[in-house]
Structure 1
Amino acid sequence: MDAIGRLLEFDWFRVFEFMPELGKGLYYTLLISIIGLLIGFVLGAIFGLGRISKNKFIFVLASIYVEVVRGTPVLVQAIWIFFALPIIIQYNFDPIVAGIIVIAINSGAYIAEVVRGSVESIDKGQIEAGRSLGLTKNQTMRYIIWPQAFKRMIPPLGNQFIISIKDTSLLSVILVPELMFQGRLIVSNQFIAVEIYTAVALFYLAITLTLSLILRLIERRLNY
């Protein structure tokens, strides 16, 4: 009861004063997540198929990308891309662009493993059946293997999307004005940490629960 009493003592209505700032943060969180994950899915599909390629150069290149990204924390990747990479290429990234790059590259490596595992889970006999029908290797992949593999990708892809959305909170370290950055900015000026950080947590929870519901509906539709 003491803990509940202390919670009730906080001025929760003050959160509404800062909804414009939190809304701005939510906008950038969704923007970076959506664009980053779309690019990440393309990267994941390319490098995932590269991981099962018989071409040694493509296989090694895809493997290096996946292992390096999966072997380093996303926070380190964000700092390196925003602070170190510009020194090498002599070009400074806008924080939002850098955030999209980080999410795309990071999610792409994990999606690549989802793609690889899903494609390899399809019975090899179906590849032989496609070839016996006169389909080329690419046609067999496009019309027979990929549709079945994509259905199997939905659950792990959903998990990765949720993880990547939550990872955007780490982008505040490179000054991306996303949800966590806005929350920290408000707290530093207004000293209402409990109210604001609770609101930020609820925003993230709402996003991930909504995404989980959408993915569950898609998965159910594909299973019919």
Structure 2
Amino acid sequence: MDFAGAYTSDHLIYLLKGFLVTLEMAAIAIVLSFVIGSLIGVIRYSKIPVLSQLMGVWVELIRNLPLLLIIFFVYFAVPEITGWNMSILTSAIISLTIFESAMIAEIIRGGLNSIDKGQIEASRSSGLSYVQTLWHIVFPQALRRMVPPMVSQFISLLKDTSLTVIIAAPELVHNAQIINGASQQYVIPIFLLVALMYFTVNYCIALFAQRFELKRT
């Protein structure tokens, strides 16, 4: 093991660049999947005819496919079908968003379903519309229950970005592999550092979620 050779300034900067790409991919995918997943979850919860069933089929399809297969499909098959030659990062973000939005949709639907139906009936009888009841009564309460599984899912997404190494996305694991290719003596030091970087960010996310949850109780 060559820690001194592995932790040169050039190597650390290269790893940091990869980690920034990892965080960028994860952040964009989290925002997009939350928006799309929330919309799908609300549609399924509201049991909108036909649309709800279609969304249900889509969610079950995506949830039962491996993320790696989705990454391959988006990167290789979509350009063949549509003629859209997207970049590696775009393909990676789209793949992560598709997979994650299906997971988030189920969390949203489960959280909304956990709220007592009597509250909805009371709100509607007091003159609130369905949308107002959903936004002001149901969703705020459901959010408290959705925080733990939502955070776990976002942490999983951040770790899942490493799978995009298969299409050569320039993220953390990809850059670590490039450095390791220079010498076998770098493998343990580099991957120890990579593990520490993942752990630090994910642990901070978990702590933030705990504080958020405590403030809302």
Q: TM-score range by the shorter chain?
A: over 0.9
Gaps of 5+ in 1: 1-9
TM value normalised by structure 1 = 0.92
Give the Cα–Cα distance (whole angstroms) in 1 for the partners of residues 5 and 49 of structure 2: 59
Quote the offset at 1:14 in angstroms: 2.7
- Quick one: distance in 2 between partners of 1:193 and 1:92? 34
Counterpart for residue 195 of structure 2? 201
Higher relative contact order (CA 8 A, sep 6+): 2
Q: What TM-score results when the alignment is normalised by the length of structure 2?
A: 0.95
Asked whether 1:16 is paired with 2:7, we answer yes
Alpha-carbon deviation of 1:118?
A: 0.4
- How far did residue 107 of structure 1 move? 0.9
Aligned partner of 2:211 in structure 1 is: 217
Instruction: Report the aligned-residue RMSD.
Output: 1.0
Question: How far apart, CA to CA, are the structure 2 residues paired with 1:211 and 1:190?
Answer: 33
1:59 shift after superposition: 1.0
Task: Report the secondary structure of 1:189's partner residue.
Answer: coil
The within-5 A match list for 1:134-213 is 134-191=127-184, 192-213=186-207
Cross-structure match for 2:90: 97
Distance 1:158 1:126 in 2: 27
Distance 1:159 1:182, change over 3 A: same
C-alpha displacement at 1:149, in angstroms?
0.7
Could you list the per-position Cα deviations for residues 122-174 of structure 1 after superposition, in whole angstroms to 9, with x for gaps in the alignment? 00001001101101101110110011111111000010001100000000111
| 1:25 aligned counterpart, secondary structure | helix
Task: Work out the CA distance in 1 between the residues paired with 2:137 and 2:5.
Answer: 56
* Count of aligned positions: 214
Which of these residues, 50, 63, 81, is aligned with residue 57 of structure 1?
Answer: 50
Unmatched segments (≥5 aa) in structure 2: none
CA contact (8 A) 1:25 1:181 kept: yes
**Is residue 15–residue 199 contact of structure 1 (8 Å, CA) maintained in 2?**
no
Deviation at 1:53, TM superposition (A): 2.7
Distance 2:6 2:41 in 1: 44
